[in-house]
Structure 1
Amino acid sequence: METHTRTTSKFNKAFSSMDILMIAFGAMIGWGWVVSTGDWIGTAGVIGAMLGFILGGVMIFFIGMTYAELTPAMPECGGEHVFSMRAMGPVGSFVCTWAIILGYVSVVCFEACALPTIITYVWPQFLQGYLYTVAGFDIYATWLATAIVFAIFITVINIMGAKTAAKLQNILTLAIGAAGILLIAASVVTGNPSNLDGQMFAGSGMQGMMGTIIKVAAVSPFFFIGFDVIPQAAEEINVPLKKIGKILILSIVLGVTFYALIIFSVGYVMNSGQIAASYNGSGLVTADAMANAFHSTIMAKVLILAGMCGIITSWNSFMIGGSRAMYSMAESYMIPRFFARLHPKTNTPYIAILVVGLLSVLAPFAGRKMLVWIVDAGNFGCILAYCMVSSSFIILHVKEPTMPRPYKVKHWKFIGAMAVLMSAIMIMLYVFPGTGVTLVPQEWAMVAGWTLLGVVFFVFSKLVYKEKFGYYAQLAVSESAKTEEQEETTAAARATSAIMAAEVSGLDEWSRGFDYFLPINLVFGQGKVEQVGKIAAAHGTTAMIVTGGSSVKRTGTYDRVRALLEREGMHTVLFDQVTPNPLTTTVEEGAKLAIAQHADVVIGLGGGSAMDAAKGIAFMACNEGGVSEYIYGDRSSSKALPIIQVPTTFGTGSESNGFAVMTNPDNGDKKSLRSPALVATASIVDPDLMRTMPSSVIAANGCDMLCHCIEAFTANNAQPFTDALALYAIPLIANNIVSLYRGEGTDEQWSKVCLAGTIGGMVINTAGITLGHAMEHPVSGLKDITHGRGLAAIEPVAIEATYRYNRFKFGRIARMLGGFTAEDCAPRMRTLLKSLDLDVTLGDLGIGKKDIPWLARNARKVSPGNLVNTPGSESTTSEESLEDLYASMI
């Protein structure tokens, strides 16, 4: 074999530490833990089955140790192909790689059938349109169509890029892990040690118990197949080489731990009779255990859904592994060269992916029974490859003792010998009868057929490529060039530690107690504006309508409201001097008119500015002095005229809270007047009135309402009721606002967004706002810009400055916005804002560096409470910190 060298890779360095851990772990925790736990417990008992899996894990651990050393030593695409090539030459490499490709392809094909089969467990009516029967398995049109659709989906995801496939893997694997953790945690709380009575071990006597444990141990290693995908994609990993070996071992440890704890949880929450009944009933013992642990059948479906995610993670992992193994063989001229083509944009081996994908599309036509035979044959192929890799580990220690080994295994002779022994034992389990995993004749036929196809490719490649057969270009890798500082720090790379640490340590801000008071009469729904006359007439005979200059008149809304009031015999007074960012002087002028006209009730008709002005006017009509005295706390009062709000724009939330934001024209201070008297006597939220909103206003107000909910949810003053409301509203905004902005919104979407905007006002009334609003008010006070546009420039940066102080909550928001961890919150916010054409900076809004000192001082002057309400306020809200943040926004 002639060895060449290369200094550059054709692949993108796409996989982070988290990605490769999830690829391996996700491959191992597929669907088996959902359907087979009852069988394992029935075979060996709860403790016996746990010991069996631990014993099987030890067998795999020795093999994994050889992989952990070889992978960072030869971080090249193909893994096993490269290891065996360096140790055994082309023929040995061909056998090893061809064997493991069988394993990968068989799993991909099997999962294509497993997914629709599992759907049938949950929804028996799913099977429609009988087509034919194969080996006793009935094939239906719906079953077949579902398998094909998902096969195409997984194929497309992998062609789109390694990172895309990794993101899917990360999300689904964490979902599986979360479901498993829920079961484990719930079983500890609701389980009972008495459930273990009579089912800790199976078999009579020590010899009988050991026999049952060994039976479980014999099958358990096949549930840990998947860690070997890491070396297949080694050339695409952007992680320090030494760390790759550690992650590979970690994936095995996590797999063993996961299976053992699931077995214990099932046995701890269900007694032997319940397990037997479940096993003989649905067969989904783990799902029934979940239902028992939570006393809810819904949770059983949650676990089944997690198991379905496991099917996809295994499918996705082995698609990655199989395509890379095919690519590596093609690179060595061992199979047709076209398998080595990379996609021009994504650098994925798209021909190999397409071939594996095509096989997964065709496989369901053969029925599930035949694919069970194929996957068993594939497992045999994987174990054969493991044995050859373990042998290569020993050979390379003898043959190339000076090879750089970033992750070096201690006592390599013992580890190597044990790895070869363990893999040889697993091979014998497939060969000798009575072991529980012995291949049946149909499965041996599959192995023979794959071997024959391999011989065809071997002969073809030898004849066509001649001396090129077995070509190997070693990738020269400098470990010194890969330091810890260069490790990819994406959200996915940190997901395990970030999410798990945050989820278990989420702050209960309300544990110290809280108050909640919001007396508002909310009248919500299409056509509800028709009630304005009757509601207002209950408070007197003269209504003052406060609005802006033209919009409600142009749309006819003003005339409609006035007519409804007059129909009830009311006299109306119009005050239409309100401007965006209403001024304190405007409010005082309106209050004088209200007094002069003996107004009994004030109606805010329009957007947030009109409603805030209406509150201020109603308040000042009953109180002496200037409004600024009340804003700054020099005076206080709980008196105001009755207020009825009729919003014509959503998002400001003014209709549902007890404060009114105004700007002092003398000094530019934009600050809120706060009093319980400002809570509307009634707010009529009619989505039909919002339909005339210009798209720019939809975008800006959508940003404002989202910021209300995010800030209230993460505020230091947050409490259970505001949390619940904010969590309900955020998805309503995120999932619907873009459609409204694009003019595609349905009646239902308009109602959802309008409701979310009103909720936003309610939550900030109680929990308050934080850094984003505190920094924006000086901006719009200085430049009179649209509040929502100012927030669009500020909020993502404010989130970046504060998320680490409440990772639990920012992580929840990020996931509702389509992200993953707290780090994703600001980027996902930016993505949403970009969809609304709000990717703006303060510089775009006319703010310059010269304005920064005043903005920082003013924020601390007008919004001290909001700054204190900010997570991590002591670190993020000093004048110097605010100046730095403002500078980064320009």
Structure 2
Amino acid sequence: MESKKESEFTKVFSAWDILVIAFGAMIGWGWVVSTGDWIERGGVIGAVLGFVLGGVMIFFIGLTYAELTPAMPECGGEHVFSFKAMGANGSFVCSWAIILGYVSVVCFEACALPTIITYIYPGFLKGYLYTVGGFKVYASWLAVAVAMSIFITYINIRGAKTAAVLQTVLTVIIGGAGILLIVASVITGSPANLEGQMFVGSGSGIARNILRVAMMSPFYFIGFDVIPQAAEEINVPLKKIAKMLLLSIVLAVAFYALVIFAVGYVMNSGAIAASASSGSGLVTADAMAAAFKTSVMAKVLIVGGMCGIVTSWNSFLIGGSRAMYSMAESYMIPKFFGKLHEKYKTPITSLVLIGVLSCLAPFAGRKMLVWIVDAGNLACCLAYCMVAMSFVILRKKSPEMPRPYKVKHYKVVGFFAIVLSGFMVLMYILPGTGATLSLPEWVIAGGWGAFGVVLYAVCKVKYGEKFGTLVDVANDELDAEAARERQAAAGIAAAEAGAEPAPAMASKTISPDFAKAKAVNAAGAEMLRDASAIPDTFQYFLPVNLVFGYGKTKEAGALAGKYGHKALIVTGRSSAKKSGLLDRVRDSLQEAGLETVLYDKVTANPLTTTAQEGADLAKQEGCDVVVGIGGGSIMDAAKGMAFMAVNDGAFDDYIYNRRSSDQALPLVLIPTTCGTGSEGNGFAVFTNPETGDKKSLRSPAIVAKASIVDPENMMTMPKKVLASVGFDALCHCMEAYTARKAQPVTDALCMYAIPLIVGNLVDLYQGKESREAWEAMSIASTIGGMVINTAGVTLAHAMEHPVSGLKNVTHGVGLAAITPYAIAASWEGNRFKYGKLSRMLGGYTAEDCAEKVRTLLRELDLNITLEDLGVTEGDIPWLTQNCFKVSKANIDNNPTMLAEEDVAEIYRKALHGESLNLARTA
């Protein structure tokens, strides 16, 4: 998954702004033009019930938007929702559809405004030009349409806030006109006017007619979805965005229902029929005149309706331009559509394009625009259906996603939202529904779809891997840890530049002891987790006797003598012998009165059969204590031998928890590598040679009775070995620190150990040796083993074990190939901790962490791929399955939850060393 970016938009919309943008988009002009038709379809009460029922249906769709918008408050709305749920292809279809819907309304409103003026002033039409589809086009009609198109576009270019101010003024006028009608009708109307027109039809016919109105009404509520399009520009708490969205739907439903009732309450059926069949046909305007008993008020209401045209126009221009911007940001349409105005921070290119289309649209005549709007309505409904499906998919796919507004009973809501929106789509497709698209409308919809296919193909070729990418926008409220982590990073950058860091957040802070953070801590900018993040309960228990220091190996006999009389010495084939360490330990044991038996057949990645063979030797020779001398493989083998020497049954039964035991021979461990930390924990990793499974034996019985950590024993390591084991030690600490099972004690140990490794490993590898550096690496390695005993390991170890089990590669080398990709796929699960790791490694934010690990690997000559280790593409299915078979607990311990397909994709990236920022798929 790619890193998050800072928003380029200015947050200017208030709660009121987004309410009037959505409400103004929904009420538009339809209530002035069509109220009489609605009453004739269902009757006054029937039409009211129909709109309420339709409003309830659309409310289910609104609920899905209400949850998704605050969860992903980014420009583009539907584009982002569908991308996260369905990927790039689904997002393209959804976004392309919603753009058609928005642009069609903008173009239609450009024609609607001059048309309404002719209702008020019939003499307005001057300069006949031509006729299109039976509609006469006049010069004065075109002039008003084009001039208003330029004006609305200019207002939107000037800034979102300017557009919102215009929207507020016009919406207040609309609302005022509607309220005047409603209030006046209550005062001057009469219940008698309802007689004979409360419902249309009788018996089951009433219900059918109410349903006819209900099925038509949702199309008048299209517009609330402008809110998610502009979500990145909203400056209110995220949960409140959801509430404003739902409130806009409720207000629109109430407005339509009350206007319908007001018209029927002030005009009887005869008056409504006469108004509909003669004159302008604007029944609502005639109702206003009847309520106030003057024709002047009819024109007042028409002016209010004209404002409704502009509010819809303005809202959909905002929505359409933002939808185009978001597609351009994902390289799905030409990138220049994502350009923002340098001063006003509005999507200038997208606004200009839609503005030009709205200027050209009136030349096609009003009939053509009706066709375009119907095709656009189908596209909007399709987008609604895809959003509803995205709502359900994301509940399954991303249950951990923060949801400031979380809908209850999501399955019920999702079902009704999908069914309703799908039904609306079918109404446009199936013949005989009353909303079926005509042939010209199908040509428009099909042409738009075909153009989208061409654009898809062209942009996919032009932009390559960039096509269909989505970079999330950082949101401080949604990710409080991200805000804290960015502040800490900014503090470090300021400290390095010699500037005064920003004041710290008001909370108690503690800084880890590493050089860069010390400078920042003086200004209070580096922060650890606050007290509220500490687990309510946790447990730390590790009964190991660590004996640390140069020359402490000589105490081996005294320590082992406390636990037995005959020692099984476990080591490798040559290193301990060549260095003389084996002889020194054996002499110490014998001086303390212990007999010794040698097992020297342990190899890298110890086998279960090796452990069983050594256990059999211990039993045969009557050994009562085990002494392990060597690296992690040897210490693990010694643990397995000590365990199986006193336990019956198959080794795998204990590894897979089919059997358990708390018994083992006493162990004394003497590490010769500073990597695995096996001397400080109670588990040991083995490979089954028959199955290739590499999995750990875990038991408190195999915690060493004594571990001698003597830095002098590390100094004979080949530099190649040092690099791999040192990186393993670093991985132990990083994974334990970011693990789900991490707790304060392990965090504190990790924070102590990581800077020791980062500050000394590369120097030791490059030959800059010192007594202090070896001490630092030795104790840090042991701490790494201790922390994973409690907090466990995570994704990188889970994925590496199958690799070394299959290919018998060195564990630390396998980790080097996988870890950067594991971090790239995981950092968003706990970005504050990964940010701290990044800063320890020389970066600033969590996004840098994976690349900084790779930089360290380059300095250790470990910048390798899985392909370099002999892994092939054909191995990935087995590696993935085995990873979940033997290391599921480690995967579950990872800060970001991953499915099998995610792990397989990480293996593929690591196979060829592909780009880190694409390590996790969307």
What is the one-letter code of the residue matched to 1:108?
Answer: V
How many angstroms does 1:421 deviate by? Answer: 0.6
Structure 1: 4+ residue segments shifted above 4 A: none
How many angstroms does 1:476 deviate by? Answer: 2.6
TM-score normalized by the length of structure 2: 0.52
Residues 402, 478 of structure 2: 8 Å contact kept: no
State how 1:133-172 maps to structure 2 within 5 Å. 133-172=131-170
Residues 102, 319 of structure 2: 8 Å contact kept: yes
Relative distance call for 1:480 and 1:4 in structure 2 (3 A) is closer
Q: Provide Cα deviations, 1:114-151, integer angstroms capped at 9, x if missing partner.
A: 00000011111111111001111110000011100000
How many angstroms does 1:479 deviate by? Answer: 1.9
Distance 2:435 2:53 in 1: 16
Q: Does 1:363 align with 2:380?
A: no
Helix, strand or coil for the counterpart of 1:259?
A: helix
Q: Which residue of 1 aligns with 2:430?
A: 432
Helix, strand or coil for the counterpart of 2:2?
A: strand
State how 1:338-349 maps to structure 2 within 5 Å. 338-349=336-347
How many angstroms does 1:219 deviate by? Answer: 1.1
Q: Which residue of 2 aligns with 1:264?
A: 261
Distance 2:457 2:430 in 1: 31
Q: Provide Cα deviations, 1:374-409, integer angstroms capped at 9, x if missing partner.
A: 001001000000000000000000000010000010
Q: Which residue of 2 aligns with 1:406?
A: 404
Q: Which of 236, 240, 243 is the equivalent residue of 2:237?
A: 240
Q: Provide Cα deviations, 1:513-550, integer angstroms capped at 9, x if missing partner.
A: xxxxxxxxxxxxxxxxxxxxxxxxxxxxxxxxxxxxxx
How many angstroms does 1:218 deviate by? Answer: 1.5
Distance 1:428 1:50 in 2: 24
What is the one-letter code of the residue matched to 1:419?
Answer: A
Distance 1:285 1:344 in 2: 47
Residues 218, 436 of structure 1: 8 Å contact kept: no
What is the one-letter code of the residue matched to 2:341?
Answer: H
What is the one-letter code of the residue matched to 2:331?
Answer: Y
How many angstroms does 1:7 deviate by? Answer: 4.2
How many angstroms does 1:296 deviate by? Answer: 1.2
TM-score normalized by the length of structure 1: 0.53
Q: Which residue of 2 aligns with 1:328?
A: 326
Q: Which residue of 2 aligns with 1:15?
A: 13
Q: Which residue of 2 aligns with 1:475?
A: 473
Q: Which residue of 2 aligns with 1:423?
A: 421
Helix, strand or coil for the counterpart of 1:68?
A: helix
Q: Does 1:253 align with 2:250?
A: yes
Q: Does 1:218 align with 2:215?
A: yes
How many angstroms does 1:438 deviate by? Answer: 1.2
Q: Provide Cα deviations, 1:842-872, integer angstroms capped at 9, x if missing partner.
A: xxxxxxxxxxxxxxxxxxxxxxxxxxxxxxx
State how 1:422-461 maps to structure 2 within 5 Å. 422-461=420-459
Structure 1: runs of 5 or more not aligned: 483-890
Residues 5, 471 of structure 2: 8 Å contact kept: no
Q: Which residue of 2 aligns with 1:312?
A: 310
Helix, strand or coil for the counterpart of 1:402?
A: coil
Distance 2:9 2:158 in 1: 13
Q: Which residue of 1 aligns with 2:121?
A: 123
What is the one-letter code of the residue matched to 1:32?
Answer: G
Helix, strand or coil for the counterpart of 2:471?
A: strand
Distance 2:360 2:385 in 1: 31
What is the one-letter code of the residue matched to 2:334?
Answer: P
Distance 1:135 1:262 in 2: 33
State how 1:841-880 maps to structure 2 within 5 Å. none
Distance 1:140 1:134 in 2: 11
What is the one-letter code of the residue matched to 2:436?
Answer: T
Q: Which residue of 2 aligns with 1:274?
A: 271
How many angstroms does 1:433 deviate by? Answer: 2.1
Q: Provide Cα deviations, 1:540-597, integer angstroms capped at 9, x if missing partner.
A: xxxxxxxxxxxxxxxxxxxxxxxxxxxxxxxxxxxxxxxxxxxxxxxxxxxxxxxxxx
Q: Does 1:354 align with 2:352?
A: yes
Q: Provide Cα deviations, 1:783-835, integer angstroms capped at 9, x if missing partner.
A: xxxxxxxxxxxxxxxxxxxxxxxxxxxxxxxxxxxxxxxxxxxxxxxxxxxxx
Q: Which residue of 2 aligns with 1:103?
A: 101
What is the one-letter code of the residue matched to 1:231?
Answer: P
State how 1:635-654 maps to structure 2 within 5 Å. none
How many angstroms does 1:481 deviate by? Answer: 8.3
Distance 1:14 1:358 in 2: 26
Distance 1:62 1:207 in 2: 26
Helix, strand or coil for the counterpart of 1:131?
A: strand
Distance 2:20 2:434 in 1: 30
Distance 2:274 2:320 in 1: 39
What is the one-letter code of the residue matched to 2:428?
Answer: Y
Distance 1:438 1:58 in 2: 23
What is the one-letter code of the residue matched to 1:376?
Answer: D
Q: Which residue of 2 aligns with 1:375?
A: 373
How many angstroms does 1:480 deviate by? Answer: 6.7
Structure 2: runs of 5 or more not aligned: 481-922
Distance 1:203 1:448 in 2: 39
Q: Which residue of 2 aligns with 1:73?
A: 71
Distance 2:78 2:235 in 1: 19
Distance 2:104 2:201 in 1: 34
Q: Identity rate of aligned residues, in percent?
A: 69
Distance 1:40 1:451 in 2: 33
Q: Provide Cα deviations, 1:723-767, integer angstroms capped at 9, x if missing partner.
A: xxxxxxxxxxxxxxxxxxxxxxxxxxxxxxxxxxxxxxxxxxxxx
Residues 390, 416 of structure 1: 8 Å contact kept: yes
Q: Provide Cα deviations, 1:178-216, integer angstroms capped at 9, x if missing partner.
A: 110110011100000000000000013x21111111111
Q: Which of 63, 69, 80 is the equivalent residue of 1:82?
A: 80
How many angstroms does 1:230 deviate by? Answer: 0.1
Q: Which residue of 2 aligns with 1:552?
A: none
State how 1:656-695 maps to structure 2 within 5 Å. none
Distance 1:476 1:337 in 2: 21
Distance 2:445 2:53 in 1: 27
State how 1:704-723 maps to structure 2 within 5 Å. none
State how 1:557-596 maps to structure 2 within 5 Å. none
Helix, strand or coil for the counterpart of 1:392?
A: helix
Helix, strand or coil for the counterpart of 1:5?
A: coil
What is the one-letter code of the residue matched to 1:194?
Answer: A
Q: Provide Cα deviations, 1:26-77, integer angstroms capped at 9, x if missing partner.
A: 0001000001000000111000101111111111100000000000000000
Residues 74, 231 of structure 2: 8 Å contact kept: yes
Residues 34, 284 of structure 1: 8 Å contact kept: yes
Q: Which residue of 2 aligns with 1:394?
A: 392
Residues 218, 435 of structure 1: 8 Å contact kept: no
Residues 5, 474 of structure 1: 8 Å contact kept: yes
Distance 1:135 1:455 in 2: 29
What is the one-letter code of the residue matched to 1:82?
Answer: V
Distance 1:32 1:297 in 2: 21
Number of positions where the alignment pairs a residue of Structure 1 with one of Structure 2: 480
Residues 7, 474 of structure 2: 8 Å contact kept: no
Distance 2:330 2:5 in 1: 17
Larger of the two Rg values belongs to structure: 2
Q: Does 1:196 align with 2:194?
A: yes
Q: Provide Cα deviations, 1:631-679, integer angstroms capped at 9, x if missing partner.
A: xxxxxxxxxxxxxxxxxxxxxxxxxxxxxxxxxxxxxxxxxxxxxxxxx
Q: Which residue of 2 aligns with 1:209?
A: 206
Q: Which residue of 2 aligns with 1:785?
A: none
Q: Which residue of 2 aligns with 1:28?
A: 26
Residues 81, 390 of structure 2: 8 Å contact kept: yes
Q: Which residue of 2 aligns with 1:230?
A: 227
How many angstroms does 1:478 deviate by? Answer: 2.7
Residues 7, 477 of structure 1: 8 Å contact kept: no
What is the one-letter code of the residue matched to 2:470?
Answer: Y
Helix, strand or coil for the counterpart of 2:3?
A: strand
Q: Provide Cα deviations, 1:276-327, integer angstroms capped at 9, x if missing partner.
A: 0110112100000001111111111000000000000000000000000000
How many angstroms does 1:5 deviate by? Answer: 2.5
